Amino acid sequence: MDFVALTCQLVDIESITGNEGPVGDFLCGQLNRLGYEAKKMRVEGERCNVYATTPQQPQPTIVFSTHMDTVPPFIRSSEDGRRVYGRGSCDAKGIIAAQIAAAETLRREGIRVGLLFLVGEERDSLGAKTANQQANGCKFLINGEPTENRVATASKGALRVELTARGRMAHSAYPELGESAIDKLLEALSGLRAMRLPEAEGIGSTTLNIGLIEGGRAPNVIADKARAQLLYRLIGPSDQLKREILQAVGDLAQVDFVLEIPLVRLRTLDGLPTMIAAFTTDIPALSNWGEPLLVGPGSIHVAHTEGEYVEKEQLHAAVDLYCSIARRLLS
């Protein structure tokens, strides 16, 4: 299988979260042509997960999994002697290609694994949540994310927070007649940035990203509404952190905790290099799919960037690594 070419084909199918239908159709067709029994799991509208097994093993012990969706913007593929470039090349379409190639290699040895490709990982893991209600009794889930082919010992959690500040409009020449929601929001954000965030030995620190700020009407109008979206990367339970966030914000803004994904500690295998994943994955939403491992080609440091790429050498190594892990888990 030319999995480098397959990576390019997948990258060239735009699948920004919410528009995964075409790439799911493509994968379903490709896998059926390879002799798998591939089916779509309806998630939302035209968005479907893809689950494939072999006719000889409809309930495999091991399932390889990753996600089909990407962050915006769409960037077509290109390549040189060392790398494949483009949106999703490492996160996670190169991983899809490597997992299919590994499944094909194992099938020739008489080892039959399943393949589960999901929608929505980049936003809310909706595809994983749907799949979790249709688990097929597997014992191990090998989830793919860009870890540079190192097995993750843990994956940080995430807490998405939305702040909404409200004020009163007035003419900007007379600010004393209004109440600026933007001023309130900035004060609240300043308080959150000043907080000391938790740390955990072996995992690292909780981090904060202020990802989106919006508000106001016009430069000459005192703003009556302003909003910010924040993301904390968690290293443990969030109860105390939530209390401190509410205390720091006070009555400056409304605080909504809109999404939470817990920290997970993961299985490793002796002799394989390891890492801590500072990002979140679909794994917490796939609890019914067996004991999870997290590993894949590519660097998370170039994911979500304009110059996203995956090293061809790492793709080749990932095929061998996925095969080796599967053999060891079954031995």
What's the rounded Cα separation, in Å, for the pair 282 and 39? Answer: 20
Residue type, 215: G
What's the rounded Cα separation, in Å, for the pair 282 and 6? Answer: 23
**What does the H/E/C string look like for 238-263?**
CHHHHHHHHHHHCCCCEEEEEEEECC
Q: Determine the 3-state secondary structure of 186 from DSSP.
A: helix
Structure tokens at 3: 């999995």
Confirm whether 306 is a catalytic residue: no
CA torsion 231→233→236→237, rounded to 10°? 10
By CB neighbour count within 10 A (0-12 exposed, 13-18 middle, 19+ buried), where does 157 fall? buried
What's the rounded Cα separation, in Å, for the pair 105 and 14? Answer: 28
Residue type, 45: G
Q: Report residue 160 CA to chain centroid gap.
A: 14
What's the rounded Cα separation, in Å, for the pair 151 and 58? Answer: 27
Q: Of 20, 79, 121, 122, which one is the catalytic site residue?
A: 121
For the annotated catalytic residues, the residue numbers are 121
